[in-house]
C-alpha cells in the first residue's frame, strides 16, 4: 500500500517490539548497583547544558507556518550536548544535541510537561537502522554480544546499509559540539505533511575554532565548549526539510536520507547561546535531571514513524525510572534557571 505525505503505517508486531525495547533499555539501568547514580541509558555523557534562546524567524515561508513556526517569537531554551555512550570523547560515538524550548503555549501531547517543546538531534543524517524490529535486533546484538540469531532478523541489504550508516559515525571526527551540524533523522508532523529538522552552526561561527586538538583528551569536547563560550556567543540556524515525496522520503524508515536536492532544508529559526560559564556542579546536576523527550511537543509536531512511536514507550518510562531511583524530582524547567 502506498502512503500519502505525512501518513504512517503501524506494523503488526509493534507493541511487542516496543515493550521488548523498553525492557532491554531498562535492564541496563536496573543493573546499576544500589546507591550508585542512575544515568540516562542512552546519551549518558553530557558535555554540558547551556542556556540560550530560540527565535522563530519572521520570514518563515507560508507553507511551513505551522505549530511553533506559525508565529515569530523568542523562547528561552536549555540545550544539552552529549555522547551517545559513556565513552571518552576521543573515541568514535554518536554526538547528541537535545533542545528544550520553555514557555511555549499551546496543547502538548504528554501531560508531564505543559510548556516545553523538545527537539532531539544527533550529528548523523540517518539512523543505522530505520524500523522498530531492526532497531531491536541491532540493540539486542550489541547488548548481548550475540550477533546470531539477533541480526538474522535484518534483511541483508539493510544490514549493508546499517554498516554504511555506522561508518558515518566512526569516520566523523568531532571538533567542538557548538561547531558541527545535527539532524533529527526521524520525521515529525508539519501541517498535513511531515518534516525532518536540523541545526547548523550560523555562518558567523568561525571555522578556525573547529580545529581538533592534536592529542584530544577524554573530555576535550566539553573543554572546547568551555573555551569558546568563555570568549563569545554561539549560534545555530534551525531548519526544517518538508517531505515532498512519500516514496523516496519515507516516514517509516529512518535509515533513508531525504534528498536535499529534492527538498532543501529551510531556515525557520535561530538558536543563540550567549557567552557563559556552564560547568558548576549545580548546573551539571540540573542537566542530569532534565527529561528531553521527542514526545514533549506541540500536537502540531507529533513524532511520526515506527522509531518515534517506540520512543514514546521508552523515554518517559526510563526518565521516570532513573528519577525514582535517584530520588530526584522530575520538574519542568522555565528556562530562567541560573546557577
| Nine cell digits for residue 268 | 525557520
**Cβ pair 17, 150 in contact under 8 A:** no
In the shown chain, the binding pattern of residues 243 to 282 toward ligand HEM, with x for contact by CB under 6 A and - for none, equals: -----------x----------------------------
Any bridge partners for residue 79, and if so which?
50, 99
| Least distance to ligand HEM, CB of residue 122, Å | 5
Residue nearest to ligand HEM (CB): 96
C-alpha distance from residue 281 to each of 35, 122, 270 (Å): 19, 25, 29
Q: Residues 51, 82, 270, 278: which binds ligand HEM (CB under 6 A)?
A: 82
| Residue 81 vs 208, nearer CB to ligand HEM | 81
**Cβ pair 157, 247 in contact under 8 A:** no
CB atoms closer than 10 angstroms to residue 264: 10
| Least distance to ligand HEM, CB of residue 96, Å | 3
Query: 137: helix, coil or strand?
Result: helix
Within residues 290-319, the interface with ligand HEM by CB under 6 A covers 290-292, 307, 310-311, 314-315, 318-319
322 makes contact with ligand HEM (CB under 6 A): yes
Among the listed ranges 36-44, 164-172, 194-202, 245-253, the one in contact with ligand HEM (CB under 6 A) is: 36-44
25 makes contact with ligand HEM (CB under 6 A): yes
Within residues 191-210, the interface with ligand HEM by CB under 6 A covers none
Return d(Cα 286, Cα 289) in angstroms, integer.
5
**Cβ pair 99, 119 in contact under 8 A:** yes
Within residues 152-181, the interface with ligand HEM by CB under 6 A covers none
* Neighbouring residues of 252: CB distance < 8 A, sequence distance ≥ 6: 3, 8, 9, 130, 131, 305, 306
In the shown chain, the binding pattern of residues 109 to 138 toward ligand HEM, with x for contact by CB under 6 A and - for none, equals: -----------xxx----x-------x---
Q: Which of 177, 183, 141, 188 is nearest to 162 (CA)?
A: 141
96 makes contact with ligand HEM (CB under 6 A): yes
Work out whether strand 182-183 and strand 74-83 pair parallel, antiparallel, or are unpaired: unpaired
**Binding site residues, ligand HEM, CB under 6 A:** 21, 25, 40-43, 80, 82, 96, 98, 120-122, 127, 135, 184-186, 254, 290-292, 307, 310-311, 314-315, 318-319, 322
Amino acid at each position: 500500500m502506498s502512503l500519502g505525505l505525512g501518513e504512517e503505517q503501524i506494523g503488526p508486531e509493534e507493541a511487542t517490539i516496543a515493550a521488548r525495547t523498553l525492557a532491554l533499555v531498562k535492564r541496563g539501568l536496573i543493573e546499576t548497583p544500589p546507591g550508585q547514580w542512575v544515568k540516562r541509558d542512552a546519551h549518558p555523557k553530557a558535555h554540558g547544558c547551556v542556556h540560550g534562546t530560540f527565535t522563530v524567524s519572521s520570514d518563515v515561508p507560508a507553507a511551513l507556518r505551522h505549530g511553533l513556526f506559525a508565529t515569530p517569537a523568542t523562547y528561552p531554551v536549555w540545550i544539552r550536548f552529549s555522547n551517545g555512550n559513556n565513552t571518552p570523547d576521543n573515541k568514535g560515538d554518536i554526538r547528541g544535541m537535545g533542545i528544550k524550548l520553555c514557555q511555549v503555549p499551546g496543547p502538548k501531547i504528554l501531560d508531564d510537561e505543559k510548556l516545553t517543546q523538545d527537539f532531539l538531534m544527533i550529528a548523523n543524517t540517518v539512523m543505522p537502522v530505520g524500523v522498530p524490529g531492526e532497531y531491536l535486533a541491532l540493540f539486542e546484538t550489541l547488548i548481548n554480544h550475540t550477533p546470531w540469531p539477533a541480526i538474522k532478523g535484518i534483511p541483508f541489504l539493510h544490514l549493508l546499509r546499517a554498516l554504511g550508516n555506522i561508518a558515518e559515525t566512526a569516520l566523523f571526527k568531532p571538533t567542538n559540539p557548538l561547531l558541527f551540524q545535527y539532524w533529527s533523522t526521524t520525521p515529525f508532523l508539519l501541517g498535513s505533511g511531515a518534516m525532518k529538522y536540523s541545526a547548523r552552526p550560523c555562518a558567523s561561527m568561525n571555522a578556525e575554532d573547529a580545529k581538533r586538538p592534536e592529542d584530544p583528551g577524554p573530555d576535550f569536547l566539553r573543554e572546547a565548549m568551555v573555551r569558546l563560550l568563555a570568549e563569545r556567543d554561539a549560534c545555530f540556524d534551525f531548519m526544517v526539510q518538508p517531505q515532498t515525496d512519500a516514496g523516496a522520503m519515507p516516514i517509516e524508515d529512518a535509515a533513508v536520507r531525504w534528498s536535499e536536492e529534492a527538498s532543501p532544508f529551510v531556515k525557520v529559526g535561530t538558536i543563540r547561546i550567549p557567552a557563559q560559564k556552564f560547568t558548576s556542579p549545580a548546573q551539571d546536576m540540573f542537566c542530569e535531571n532534565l527529561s528531553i523527550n521527542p514526545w514533549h511537543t506541540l500536537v502540531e509536531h507529533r513524532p511520526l514513524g515506527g522509531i518515534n512511536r517506540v520512543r514514546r514507550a521508552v523515554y518517559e518510562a526510563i526518565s521516570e525510572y532513573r528519577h525514582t531511583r535517584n530520588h530526584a524530582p522530575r520538574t519542568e524547567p522555565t528556562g530562567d534557571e541560573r546557577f
